Structure 1
């Protein structure tokens, strides 16, 4: 891992305030609309309904932030950055790893702020172990979306990467059950939901709030999505660098 490049990437990304604001404000607004209007005592999937919505919106924010790295990658490709990388000792694996780490760092603020808003405004009560577990699992759940952001960055042009990322984020969240509980979807939509990584990351995160604990099967599916998408991203980087 090249720490110098990673720190450079972090500083450059943090200058893009619009991405950070969208990934934080959007899930907070959605939680306020859909979560704070829930009647007291309502439940969904065996847990408090408002906690269910809080975790779903936190996951939406973290996936939005994680996928946003595609814009920087597309800009780097357009500016000939890949040609420069070929002259450095930075390996493809190290480059992709640095982008994934950056995406995970970007996923932290939405999670923390939505959880804080849920605790203060929504009066969501969890014990310390539950807060830590759901935060950690939700954070790691951003991994497949970091890989999706990388893939988009390697296949899209700079002027189209943001619309593609935004549309992809909305569709994945909607069809994956982050905006509407899967149990309330029509039968066909339930099957479609299970084909998306958002469904499994949501299942993993929300299961941390149940008495049974984290859903191991859902966690394994999330890891499988991460590996597959990570391999695709790495291959796209190598192919793009070879053409540079």
Structure 2
């Protein structure tokens, strides 16, 4: 347990020192939140509702980015620099190492949620009930699992540059097409149809429902589970192919 705790602490410190995390997962979502709720006139009929809605969007955007980019790129870097090989030579088991990575990333996600929720409260005075704050935060934390799986899938790439480029494209495409930057309802019909099947939309939609006083839809949950299974199976398949080479 002590080894796991120390390794988890090391993983957290490494993420916090990562410029990708600071920019994509903290700075960028807060800047976007400020721009689209304080600077740009969106014409939302209920300003308070829009501010709460967009706060959930940017928090989900942050956690999604941390999962896809920070985790994925870090895994590639570790393998490229020989860190993963070195860890296999230590008494630390693969299970402990992997568990520490996932636990560390989860703590980082919790940190991101708290920081961005606080920013929303300070910037716009977003006021939710205690249950809504906790429920939306818990949803974002738990429902981010498919994106962690996607991050590990990206982590199987051989070059950091490739992983960074592809993860960036996936991250931005999912955010835009999933309605995180702007409501899906204002997009063309074809985009709405596609968007509703993306993990990003179903991830965000659960949080949006909570701040409106509703529960996440079962459709959102089932689609996210399906993506989780898909990404895990793909990771397992590709890893086996790589090991066989």
| TM, length-normalised to structure 2 | 0.85
What is the CA-CA distance between 1:100 and the residue it aligns to? Answer: 3.0
Can you give the 5+ residue segments of structure 2 that lack an aligned partner in the other structure? none
The corresponding residue for 1:161 is 163
The 3 A distance-change label for structure 1 pair 79 and 220 is: same
The corresponding residue for 1:106 is 108
Distance between the aligned counterparts of 1:232 and 1:90, measured in 2? 26
Can you give the 5+ residue segments of structure 1 that lack an aligned partner in the other structure? none
What is the CA-CA distance between 1:38 and the residue it aligns to? Answer: 5.2
Distance between the aligned counterparts of 2:42 and 2:20, measured in 1? 33
What is the CA-CA distance between 1:48 and the residue it aligns to? Answer: 1.1
The 3 A distance-change label for structure 1 pair 38 and 115 is: farther
Tell me if 1:233 matches 2:203.
no
The corresponding residue for 1:202 is 204
What is the CA-CA distance between 1:199 and the residue it aligns to? Answer: 0.6
The corresponding residue for 2:65 is 64
The 3 A distance-change label for structure 1 pair 120 and 12 is: closer
Give the conservation status (yes or no) of the 8 Å contact 2:57–2:204: yes
Distance between the aligned counterparts of 1:203 and 1:11, measured in 2? 31
Tell me if 1:54 matches 2:16.
no
Larger helix proportion of the pair: 2
Aligned length: 241
What is the CA-CA distance between 1:168 and the residue it aligns to? Answer: 1.7
Distance between the aligned counterparts of 1:213 and 1:18, measured in 2? 32
Runs of 4+ residues deviating >6 angstroms: none
The corresponding residue for 1:42 is 45
The corresponding residue for 1:140 is 142
Q: Quick one: which of 131, 140, 151 aligns to 1:129?
A: 131
| TM, length-normalised to structure 1 | 0.85
The 3 A distance-change label for structure 1 pair 115 and 38 is: farther
